[in-house]
Structures are given as C-alpha cells and as structure tokens.
Structure 1
Amino acid sequence: MRNQFSLAHLTALACPPPRLTYIAARAGYDFVSIRPIAMKLKNEPDYNLAKNKSMLRDTKTALRQTGLQVLDIELAKIEDGMEPKQYEPAFEVGAELGARHVLCSVWTDDEVFANERFIELCELAKHYQLTIELEFVPVASVATLKQAVRMLQAAAQDNAGLMIDAHHFHRSKENVGDIKRIPASWFHMFHLCDAVKEIPSAKEQMLKIMREERLYIGEGGIPIKEILQQIPKIPYSLEIPHLQRVKELGFEEYARRCLVSAKKYISLFQDDVNIS
C-alpha cells in the first residue's frame, strides 16, 4: 500500500475549502484537511460551512470532481466554558463531507473539566462516525505526550486517538522511544512537517514558527525518520505553513513542493520503517 498524504488547511489557510480541495488535487494529494471550526485568532478566515451553505455546496462539488476525500476537520478546542454541543454543526458537516477524524486540543488547566468534556466530545462524535484525535501542543494546557497519553487512558473511548505533530513533538522535547509504548490502535493520522532544530525560548517565536515558518520535510532538524519508525502506517497530513514561500510561489506550487519534499524524504529510507 502506497503512502497517503493530506493537505492540511493551515498550509494554505487563506484558501477556502473548495479552492483548497482543487489545489490539493492538482498538487497530487490523496486527502484534504479542512478547518470549519475557526480558532478565532486575529486575521484568521472563518470557514463555517454549517452556516455558509453555498461554500458547503461548492466544497462537495470540489470533492466530487477531484475524487479527494476529507481526512479530518479541526479544531475542537477544549477550553474553559466550552460545551461539546457547540461543535455538533461542524461534526455534522464533517460527516456530510466524508471526514474521518476531528482534531482536538486542550486549553484549560482544569484537568477534571477537560477529561469530562473530552469524553463528551467522543460520545458526540460517535453519532457521526468520527474519531476525536487528541493533539498535544507545547503552548497549550495538554502540552506533552505524557499528558495526552494520560488523558486518553482516563477517557478509555474506542473512537479516541492520538495525533502527533512533528513540530510539537520536537518542541515538547519528547523522547522518540516513548512512542513504542503507545497502542498502535491510537494512531489514525500524523502531522508531518519540519522546522529549525533550535527550540525557541520565547513563546512568541515558537508561535511564529508554528504558524508561519515551518520547513519542507528534511530541511530542518526534527528527527522525522526516527519518529516515523515508531508509528504504524497512517495518512500523513502535511501541515507546513510558510507565509513567505507562499507569497513567492503561490499556494498551489508551494503545496506541490511540500508534497514532493515529503515523498522524496520518505523514499530515502522507506524499506527501513513501517511506511513501505
């Protein structure tokens, strides 16, 4: 079975889902990953497909015409005061589009509250045949692999998974060997990217790299090969935002180069890992 790749929305966030889908197809991707739940950050576009019915229709058309599938939707944040039901319209849209997974991260320090809401999210997602993929983020409340594993163990939900982002794994100073102890059934997708080896000490600089300056696969200092050696074969979502390169190359050519770099990097050691 060949490797499969998705174009993550953050790589080309300025592109609405229909345009993102056509770009992904022309660039050679197998999936597209879309963001119908806005993170409410400054200058971030809002692609609320549950409310924007015309954009939803156009997205369905783009998927039908290209033959691409939706790998995941994002981002179901667990933060103080949130209720899982607020994400149900997006879950319904995700199911309509054939999505498989929903990304989730935790931004509250109330561990009991977070665990309860995570279980509720999983239960809600079951109605739409979706999994909830917990992503640890170094600037969030669940910031490490250990914290994410503990939360998944406590939840004990059969539609919950662990979503590792190569950038976050490296920035959280994780040990590659710890992945061996994670159940293979928890892995459904992986965020593939690269970044400079040096870990910024300032949160602002880390955020800037995370959202604006990630690198082509093999260009930076993240131990990508070693990480991939420890996980089963799953789709790789290329989340590689780099604003300057997009300005220079345009979204489609940049997306194509991201994919080329990933395929080239993996081909160098394909026979040695679980990605043959």
Structure 2
Amino acid sequence: MSRRFSLAHLTALNLNPPDLVDTAAQAGYQAVGLRLLPFTFGGVAYRLMDDPLLLDETLARMRDTGVQVQDIEILRLNETFQVSPYQSFFEIGQRLGAKNILVAGEDRDPNRLIDSFARLCEACKPYGLTADIEFMPWLAVNNLPTARALIEAAGQDNGGVLIDPLHFTRSGSTLDQLADLPDSMVHYAQICDAPENLPTDTAALLQLSRSARLAPGEGAIPLQAMFQRLPQDILISVEIPNEQQSHERGHVAWVRHCLEASRQVLGPEND
C-alpha cells in the first residue's frame, strides 16, 4: 500500500485554497490541509465558510485534480471556547470531505479544557470529523503525555493526537511514549525536520516553526525512529514552511522537494 501525503497549508500559506490544490496536484500530493481559521489574531486564513465563490472554486479544482482535503485548521480551545460558533466550520469541512480538525489546546484550566474537548468531539463527529490535538511547547497542552491524558479524560472515540516532529522534539516527549500511544489515537501525522540545536525561547521557536523548517533528512530530528512507532497506514501531512527556500525555488519546486525528501526518509511503501 502506497503512503499518502498531504500538503499542509502552512507550507505555502500565501496560496489560497484553489491554488494550493493545484500546487499539490502538480507536485504529486494526494491531499491538502486548509487553514480556514487563523492561528493568531489577524493571521492568514481562508474562511471558506464566508466565501461561497472561493469554496466553489476549491471544490472545482479538487474535482479536476483528484486532490482531496484531509484536514481543516485551526481550532483553538481557549478559556472562552464555545462549540456553537463553529457550526459552519464543521459543515464546510464535511462539504470538502475533510477527515480531521487540527486543534490547539490553550486553556490552562484542565477540567474546562477536558469539557471543551469532549464537546468539540461530540459536535464534529456527525460531520465525519476527528478532533486532533497538536501539542506545542508554549501551550497548555505542551507534550505528548498531556495530550494523551486529555484524550483519555474526554473519552471520545474521534479524539486524537497530532504529532508534529518539531514540537515532539522540543517538548521533551520520548520515543517510548510514542511507541506506547494507542494506534486508535493517531489519525494522521505531520513531517518536517529542524536543526540539531533548537531554540530554547518561545519567540525563536515560533519563528523557526512558521518560516524556517527543513525538509526531512536535512536536519537532526530522528524521523525514521519516530515513524516506526506510528501506525504505518496513516496519511502524512507535509508541514515545512521555509520562506527562503519557497522564494528561491518557487512554490511547486519547494513542495515537490519536501515530498521527495519525505519519501526518501520514510520509504514510499508501507510494510
């Protein structure tokens, strides 16, 4: 069975969804992830919930190319989270055929966070969506054990954890913890690489995360060891934003390089 790869929107965030679909098709990806909600206030996002023309064009490009939408992002579980404002987000996700929602756990009240995550899982399940927590060192859900504990406490079968190799390495999470993670909690995973000496302060880590990641095999993250401990049939989201490389090579060449590097590191076929 061939591995399946999705082009994460952050890798080419200045492309709108139709152009991202075209770029992914040209580079050889089977799917894309779409950023419909911003990660930071005023950040880049393409609200297909509010733009029917852009939605129609995205769906048309998907039909023309065969490229699917794997995940939609990014939903932030903060102290003011309520499910109701995200109804149209779920509906558009279903229209796009998305499978997963990328979720950030920000609320530092653990009981309220568990309740919010459980309610999110319940609300998005009828739309065929999973809710996948991407732990990040600067957030409340900052490592793999915390993410796993949240999923277990919420008790929803469509709750999952999203592994980002950069955040995994920086968070102090271990390969043993990854190996112990139930397969049912892993719906897809991201891939990227980074230098050996990662920043220790949040600002520098954010800068690296958003604009200076490396293609697999060009850094020091033990990607082969990580992915040997993950389910072998999951889709792999290629999230490798690098402003310099994308500018110098062009979008299609850069994302194709990232895909080829991912295949070389992981191998094109599952065992």
Fold match (TM-score > 0.5):
yes
For each residue in 1:50-88, what CA deviation from the matched residue of structure 2 results, as whole angstroms up to 9, or x when unmatched? Answer: 101111001000100001111100111101212122222
Q: CA deviation at 1:47?
A: 0.5
For each residue in 1:114-140, what CA deviation from the matched residue of structure 2 results, as whole angstroms up to 9, or x when unmatched? Answer: 111100100010121111111111111
Residue equivalent to 1:13: 13
Residue equivalent to 1:236: 236
Residue equivalent to 2:167: 168
> Is residue 123 of structure 2 the alignment partner of residue 138 of structure 1?
no
- TM-score of the pair, normalised by structure 2: 0.97
Residue equivalent to 1:29: 29
Q: Which amino acid aligns with 1:86?
A: P
SS at match of 1:177: helix
Residue equivalent to 1:191: 190
Residue equivalent to 2:217: 218
Residue equivalent to 2:61: 62
1:73, 1:99 within 8 Å by CA — same for their partners in 2?
yes
Q: CA deviation at 1:108?
A: 1.5
2:32, 2:70 within 8 Å by CA — same for their partners in 1?
yes
2:192, 2:215 within 8 Å by CA — same for their partners in 1?
yes
Query: For 1:103 and 1:23, how far apart are their aligned partners in 2?
Result: 21
For each residue in 1:222-251, what CA deviation from the matched residue of structure 2 results, as whole angstroms up to 9, or x when unmatched? Answer: 111110110112110000000111111111
SS at match of 1:103: strand
Query: For 2:164 and 2:263, how far apart are their aligned partners in 1?
Result: 17
List 4+ stretches of structure 1 deviating above 6 A: none
Q: CA deviation at 1:41?
A: 4.0
Q: CA deviation at 1:177?
A: 1.2
Q: Which amino acid aligns with 1:243?
A: E
Q: Which amino acid aligns with 1:176?
A: L
Query: For 1:177 and 1:77, how far apart are their aligned partners in 2?
Result: 28
2:33, 2:70 within 8 Å by CA — same for their partners in 1?
yes
Q: CA RMSD in A?
A: 1.2
SS at match of 1:73: strand
> Is residue 44 of structure 2 the alignment partner of residue 45 of structure 1?
yes
SS at match of 1:161: strand
Residue equivalent to 1:126: 125
SS at match of 1:127: helix
1:179, 1:231 within 8 Å by CA — same for their partners in 2?
yes
Matched positions, count: 270
Residue equivalent to 2:78: 79
For each residue in 1:135-187, what CA deviation from the matched residue of structure 2 results, as whole angstroms up to 9, or x when unmatched? Answer: 11111110011100110110110111111111110011211011122111111
- TM-score of the pair, normalised by structure 1: 0.95
Q: CA deviation at 1:45?
A: 2.4
Query: For 1:213 and 1:41, how far apart are their aligned partners in 2?
Result: 21
2:223, 2:265 within 8 Å by CA — same for their partners in 1?
no
Unaligned runs of 5+ in 2: none
Q: CA deviation at 1:40?
A: 3.5
Unaligned runs of 5+ in 1: none
SS at match of 1:134: strand
Query: For 2:4 and 2:198, how far apart are their aligned partners in 1?
Result: 29
Query: For 1:40 and 1:54, how far apart are their aligned partners in 2?
Result: 25
Q: CA deviation at 1:46?
A: 2.8
Query: For 2:59 and 2:25, how far apart are their aligned partners in 1?
Result: 14
Query: For 2:255 and 2:12, how far apart are their aligned partners in 1?
Result: 8
Query: For 2:96 and 2:79, how far apart are their aligned partners in 1?
Result: 29
SS at match of 1:257: helix
